[in-house]
Amino acid sequence: MGEKVLLQNRRRDRPATLDEYRDSGGYQALATVLKGVEPRELIQMVLDSGLRGRGGAGFPAGRKWSFLRQEAPHPRYIIPNTDEMEPGTFKDRVLVGCDPHQIIEGTILAGYANQAERAVIFIRPSYELEAKVFEREFSLLREEGLLGENILGSKFDFEITLHRSAGRYICGEASAQVKAIQGERPRPDKEGHMTESGLWGQPTIVNNVETLACVPHIVRNGGEWFKNLAATPEGAGTKLYGVSGMVERPDCYELPIGTPLREIIFEHAGGMKAGRRFKACLTGGASTKLLPEKHLDVRMDFEALAKIGHRLGTAAVVVFDENACLVSACLNLLTFFTRESCGWCTPCREGLPYMRHLLRSIELGEADEDCIPRLKEMTEMMDHSYCAFAPGAAAPVKGLLEYFEDEVREHLVRGCCPYKGV
Amino acid sequence: MPSLVIDNRSVEVPKGTKVISAAEKLGIYIPRFCFHEALGAVGACRMCAVMFLDGPVKGLKMSCMTEAKDGMVISTDHPDAMRFRSWVIECLMLNHPHDCPVCDEGGQCLLQDMTVSGGHGIRRYGGPKRTYRDQDLGPLVGHEMNRCIHCWRCRRFYQDYAGYRDLGAMQIGSRTYFGRQKDGRLQSPFAGNLIDLCPTGVYTDKPSRYEGRRWDYQRSDSVCPHCSLGCATMLNVRYRQVIRLEARPEPAVNGHFICDRGRYGFGFANHPERPRKARIDGSEADLQTALQEAATRLGEVSAEYGAGAVAALGSCRMGLEAQVAMARLCHERGWSAPRFYLEPDLALRVHAAARSLEPELALSQTELQKADFILAVGVDPLAEAPMLALAMRQAVRSGATVALIDPRPLELPFPSRRLAVECGLFDVALPWLVRQAFGAKKRRKLDEIYPRLLTVAGGEGLEKKGLRELKKMARLLAKSQRPALVCGTDMVPQGLPGGAADLVRLLREQGKDAGVFFVLPGANAMGAAMAAPEETAGGDLLEAMERGEVRALLAVESDPLFGFYDRARLERALEGLKLLVVLDHLPSVTAAKAHLLLPVTNLYEAPGISLVNHEGRLQRASAIQEPGTPLDQYGGGGHPPRVFSESTPGGDLLPADVQLEELAGLLSNTNAETPRLNAWEWLAQRQPGAAEAVSNGAPVYGERLLPIQVGQAALVEQPVASPVAVGKLELLVGSWFASAEELSSYRPIPAGPEDEPALWLHSETASRLGLETGGPVRLVLEGGELPLTLRTSDEMNRRTALLTPGKGASWQMLPGRRTLLDESAIQRADRGES
């Protein structure tokens, strides 16, 4: 197993304390930067490190930061996105729970790089424990001069506040998140750019917390070191892989980005549960395509997965065994997405219930042949929705129809689910 | 100017144009639900997908979200686009009830059109339909949520465009619900637009339910008669009854919307007591006999007391044709000067506004929306001209600041800066502010050219706090490029309208693209000024009646008793007349007192009327229905009509101008064959602005008839500060439009809570006088006492009391439009007493 970076202070009973974090080199990066690194140099460091966003889309973090114009107005905001509502995904919770300070340090560094005044951590309501951890550490940091005015004696002032979400999946999307913080109805908004007009109409950067947690390490050890952490020359850094489902040891694993999927499931997660056979898995949470056994050797990185028509997403691997009915699994996921659609655009609001209806009739064996091409047509139409929600919601079904059409057809032929009672 | 190709035709459009609008320029209508010209593009419905074949964007994209760029090649009927759009309709129809045959929207439903034309005919979805609970949104707007296709237009209009919060979106996903937290009357005075905007039958016109289908109606372009803005409306008539009005898109005036007063104020036209038969001393007669009788009796008075003893009083709700005919009759017969206002001071202010409205100064509603700073003085937009508030809000949404100088508690759907000085200080506050907007050096120069500004340099009568606020407003004015001055004519000092226009001219000389927006006392106030520019020379009509100088009054579409502040005095004067002839279509109080009553047609009946709005624009309210009693009033509700006769029941009416012309003919007793100028030619001879718009004896509609020549009248040249003295209160009466604009006061729709009679005071004034908000008070006047409910506001002037009379006329016992009261005139009443 490669070097542990993000989870180096992980212990099973409690989060690492400020002192423990400091002992492992914590807040050195911040001190170095505040002593004489220009914001532009910091952004360059992150650009050079090749760090890509860990929230799902994989957008280069340094480039996102460089979009914020130097002469853009103040105040500016950083929003560390801790809304992890993607089914099957739990890496951010582990990250906050084991070492909250590296997120905080990363956030302050992002604030410095973008010359922002304030960060608003947007946190999922079911992460109340983690929210309390954050709040406790904030007050400690203020006492230590690491947060507030003149951080570490420098001229840099920065505040972090915590916003507890009311809890809706769509709030994870950056522009919807901004609306949610403003007390408005959360929905994705493609008009304008966050870096020009985000929270309260001010320049805003929304980053996933895992992305931010990487920043102090990049500053301390350099971009080259960060790149070398990856399993492949094109990747950069380590990645938190959350493995769940029918495996022996479901957990969150920090591994070099680009580790083959087979290695993640069959070595690190201990392989399938005794007596079970691998059938399919999701690669990056519920809004990614079902992946069949023939692709198990794919390297778990953005590019490699994209090449075979899949997505890394949140790198949450959900494993299904041969006894799982994939129609039923997709129906389950689609029920979630149907409920969580914000209702803004037609394909998502009306199309998802339509798909759910078709899947349900397949699962019940009540559908006819015609529903397979219809379902296929729907998954294609979903690509023309307002935001990425609908194509994501349709992704598992896309995989189902691409690789497991026989299983779908079996439902139709038998007139019932072939896995019922297995 | 990007140039692109849509369906093999090239088009060039301004930068920033969306593809959907570029296509419209070519006459290609791309299907849409959420896109609306006034509400903009939001990309929600996905109905406007087209195929981008070549250029900077490729593939299936939404035409409302994509900006037109050079080199784009677009196909709107590409098979992929058609297939996708058909699928979108299928999705929208999943839950839509198949109730078109009984739906009020049937026949004028965008969803129906799109479903039929979009190619989705066979239902494939076999699941259950979603159902919602409908809400009672009050007497005007019906609600049927099951029909909703979630285009978001209602929420976007109601909250974003109009600025009201009580209707919006609730829940998420396919359960998304558009409505209110609780059942209840919609609070926005623009709520009726939801009906026009909704692409299907969720919001429908409640008063016209079950009255007919779109294709049953006689429809014609009309103009709203309920305030001076003259918004464009679409008239729907069936069986001689006005059924409903819709907004008519008119980019030069109101854009796409109208206010609810304009939409639902038409009840006067169908009023069961409307005079439909001429009356001579209370007995019915046919119209020709009555006209003959009128001519005879008018001639008698003229012969006995001299021609000057006959006076005519028109109004600003009548058409320009009738205004001209009336003025002409007065001239030709040598009668007293034609008048359109009972209050000469009001006429003076309106004339000052008309005179000063040069073509380059006038602003329309849509032009006002583009202002970057709006200063409004002495105007209550929602009461006097509701659409003005909507236009101001659009300016605010684009970044403008609105500053208000007014003593009243103004409730507006946008944030604003306020200076609540008493009316008597407008004349000082406004020029002081404008002067302050210039640097010290320029100021000295200005003082030389405009001594008027110098006289207010000290800010006489204004408190320090007020001057500070004015300074802030002045800074905003100084920064602005396109400032607009909105000026009322209701309770402002005499010199203000003219002074306001002068200040706008001054700002224009300083390089600002400034304009003025007058709010006038009626739909055709400008027309009245054009027809009778010499009105103000005639003196006070009421006094002339009281002195016995005027013995006969011809009231044309005018009910002076409506809204006059001293009703008893006016009644005495009317009773003292030898002859009262009334031409009207309203069952008015004055009409009931007439010796001779000549019923006339209204603007909804052929041939319609012409109106000149506040910016001097000539507009035509055309009508195609012949006058007559609505079928359901004489046919016992029978349908179809089973009563046969040679003439239309209740149709023995003629337009006021035709009757006045006949009177003129009868009175002139010459059978001269010499061709008489028609009304337009007569007007063109007297008004330079009208001359340009009239060719071959007919006017060109839609043009501004500026400038308007109005006779010079003595105006207050030097502004005088007249603050209200300590211990006194200035009593204002809620704008004559507030809850009872004359025409809409005849509508049958139940009054809202705002129609309850109330007295408004500043909360500090109220507590100083020991009065309780919401409690009963007595207003003790010379003519009697008024029981009222006390309302308070923190934003109004401390020395002003505002009486909002609501429905009913008992308040008409004041000595003037603005009255100084002792504070002791407002007394606490015991509960239960009122």
pLDDT digits (tens, 9 = 90+) for B8-47: 999 999 999 999 999 999 999 999 999 999 999 999 999 9
CATH of residue B567: 3.40.50.740
B45 contacts A343? CB cut-off 8 A = no
Predicted pLDDT of residue B408: 94
Strand partners, B566: B813
pLDDT digits (tens, 9 = 90+) for B280-335: 999 999 999 999 999 999 999 999 999 999 999 999 999 999 999 999 999 999 99
Contact A412, A365 (CB under 8 A): yes
- The tokens for A143 are 């006492």
CATH of residue B749: 2.40.40.20
Residue A170, φ and ψ in degrees, nearest 5: -65, -20
Quick one: fold of A238-321? Ubiquitin-like (UB roll) (3.10.20)
pLDDT band with cut points at 50, 70 and 90 for residue A299? very high
Q: What is the DSSP letter of A272?
A: B
Q: In sequence order, which ranges of A144-244 are alpha helices (DSSP H)?
A: 174-181, 209-221, 223-228
Q: Are residues B509 and B531 in the same domain?
A: no
pLDDT band with cut points at 50, 70 and 90 for residue B717? low
Q: Which of B518, B552, B571 is the last residue of a domain?
A: B518
Ramachandran sector of residue B506 (left: φ over 0; alpha: ψ -120 to 50; beta: rest): alpha
**Distance from chain centroid for Cα B783:** 33
Minimum distance, in Å, between the CA of residue A220 and any CA atom of chain B: 43
Q: Are residues B535 and B682 in the same domain?
A: yes
| Count of CB pairs separated by less than 8 Å, A with B | 79
B288: Cβ–Cβ under 8 A, 6 or more apart, which residues? none
Coil/strand/helix, residue B665: helix
Minimum distance, in Å, between the CA of residue A61 and any CA atom of chain B: 26
Is the pLDDT confidence value at A12 over 90?
Answer: no
Question: What CA–CA distances, in Å, run from B65 to B3, B60, B61, B256?
Answer: 17, 12, 8, 21
Is the pLDDT confidence value at B834 over 50?
Answer: no
Q: Which of B649, B653, B655 is nearest to B633 (CA)?
A: B649
**Mean pLDDT within B480-490:** 96
**Where do the structural domains in chain A lie, given as residue ranges?**
18-228, 238-321, 326-414
Q: How many CB atoms lie within 10 A of CB A368?
A: 10
Domain that holds residue B463: 349-518
DSSP labels for B522-571? STTHHHHHHH-TTGGGG--HHHHHHTTS--EEEEES--TTTT-SBHHHHH
Q: Are residues B316 and B353 in the same domain?
A: no
pLDDT digits (tens, 9 = 90+) for B79-88: 999 999 999 9
Predicted pLDDT of residue B779: 92
| Nearest by CB: B173 against A341, A361, A377 | A341
pLDDT digits (tens, 9 = 90+) for A357-401: 999 999 999 998 999 999 999 999 999 999 999 999 999 999 999
Domain annotation covers residue B802: yes
CA angle B585, B588, B589 (to 5 degrees): 155
Domain annotation covers residue B709: no
Predicted pLDDT of residue B495: 86
pLDDT digits (tens, 9 = 90+) for A176-190: 999 999 999 999 999
With CA atoms as reference, the chain B residue closest to A383 would be B60
Contact A216, A109 (CB under 8 A): yes
CATH of residue B181: 2.20.25.90
Minimum distance, in Å, between the CA of residue B397 and any CA atom of chain A: 14
* Pairing mode of beta strands A204-208, A77-82: parallel
Q: Are residues B237 and B129 in the same domain?
A: yes
**Does pTM top 0.90 for this prediction?**
yes
Q: Are residues B735 and B762 in the same domain?
A: yes
Q: Are residues B761 and B813 in the same domain?
A: yes
Predicted pLDDT of residue A120: 98
pLDDT digits (tens, 9 = 90+) for A254-267: 999 999 999 999 99
- Buried b / exposed e along A23-45 (16+ C-beta atoms within 10 A): eeebbebbeebbeebebeebbbb
B contacts of A339 (beta carbons < 8 Å):
173
Q: For chain B, how far is it from start to end, CA to CA, in angstroms?
A: 68
Contact B596, B290 (CB under 8 A): yes
Minimum distance, in Å, between the CA of residue B188 and any CA atom of chain A: 20
**Mean pLDDT within B195-216:** 94
Q: Which of B243, B270, B297 is the last residue of a domain?
A: B270
For chain B, give percent helix, strand, coil, nearest 5: 35, 20, 45
Chain B contacts to A (CB-CB under 8 A) = 43-47, 49, 60, 62, 65, 84, 87-88, 91-92, 94-95, 124-127, 149-150, 152, 168-169, 171-176
pLDDT digits (tens, 9 = 90+) for B578-599: 999 999 999 999 999 999 999 9
Q: Which of A57, A53, A84 is nearest to A168 (CA)?
A: A84
Mean pLDDT of chain B: 91
CATH of residue B415: 3.40.228.10
Domain annotation covers residue B834: no
B76: Cβ–Cβ under 8 A, 6 or more apart, which residues? B6, B7, B23, B28, B30, B50, B51, B63
Q: Are residues B460 and B557 in the same domain?
A: no
Q: Are residues B134 and B179 in the same domain?
A: yes
Contact A4, A98 (CB under 8 A): no
Q: Are residues B553 and B505 in the same domain?
A: no
Question: What CA–CA distances, in Å, run from B87 to A391, B34, B260, B705?
Answer: 16, 16, 37, 52
Q: Which of B244, B270, B296 is the last residue of a domain?
A: B270
Tally the domains of chain B: 5
Coil/strand/helix, residue B644: coil
pLDDT band with cut points at 50, 70 and 90 for residue B159? very high
B contacts of A353 (beta carbons < 8 Å):
94, 127, 173-174
Cα distance between residue A285 and residue A90, in whole Å: 10
pLDDT digits (tens, 9 = 90+) for A342-363: 999 999 999 999 999 999 999 9
DSSP labels for A366-407? ---TTHHHHHHHHHHHGGGSSSSHHHHHHHHHHHHHHH-HHH
Minimum distance, in Å, between the CA of residue A38 and any CA atom of chain B: 35
Domain annotation covers residue B550: yes
A contacts of B154 (beta carbons < 8 Å):
none
Q: Thinking of the domain A18-228, which architecture would CATH place it in? A: 3-Layer(aba) Sandwich (3.40)
A326-414 CATH? 1.20.1440.230
B46 contacts A345? CB cut-off 8 A = yes
A350 contacts B91? CB cut-off 8 A = yes
Cα distance between residue B504 and residue B515, in whole Å: 6
ipTM attached to this prediction? 0.93
Contact B697, B681 (CB under 8 A): yes
Q: Which of A354, A366, A383 should one mutate to test binding to chain B, selecting the residue with the greatest count of B CBs within 10 A?
A: A354
pLDDT digits (tens, 9 = 90+) for B773-796: 999 999 998 888 888 999 999 999
With CA atoms as reference, the chain B residue closest to A356 would be B127
Q: Which of A226, A215, A253 is nearest to A91 (CA)?
A: A253
Burial of B504 (0-12, 13-18, 19+ CB in 10 A): buried
B149: Cβ–Cβ under 8 A, 6 or more apart, which residues? A346, B33, B45, B92, B96, B111, B199, B200
Q: Are residues B335 and B425 in the same domain?
A: no
Omega cis (within 30) before B607? yes
Radius of gyration for the alpha carbons in chain B, expressed in angstroms and rounded: 28
Cα distance between residue A391 and residue A289, in whole Å: 10
Domain annotation covers residue B216: yes
Cα distance between residue B412 and residue A144, in whole Å: 50
Domain annotation covers residue B646: no
Q: Which of B151, B172, B397 should one mutate to test binding to chain A, selecting the residue with the greatest count of A CBs within 10 A?
A: B172
Cα distance between residue B174 and residue B88, in whole Å: 14
Minimum distance, in Å, between the CA of residue B101 and any CA atom of chain A: 24
Q: Are residues B29 and B70 in the same domain?
A: yes
Domain annotation covers residue B111: no
Chain A contacts to B (CB-CB under 8 A) = 168, 170, 185, 190, 338-347, 349-354, 357, 361, 374, 377, 381, 384-386
A contacts of B152 (beta carbons < 8 Å):
344
Q: Which of B83, B156, B170, B174 should one mutate to test binding to chain A, selecting the residue with the greatest count of A CBs within 10 A?
A: B174
Cα atoms in the 13 Å half-sphere on the side-chain side of B105: 26
Omega cis (within 30) before B533? no
Q: Are residues B130 and B258 in the same domain?
A: yes
Cα distance between residue B217 and residue B219, in whole Å: 6
Is the pLDDT confidence value at B737 over 50?
Answer: no
Predicted pLDDT of residue B740: 64
Cα distance between residue B95 and residue B146, in whole Å: 7
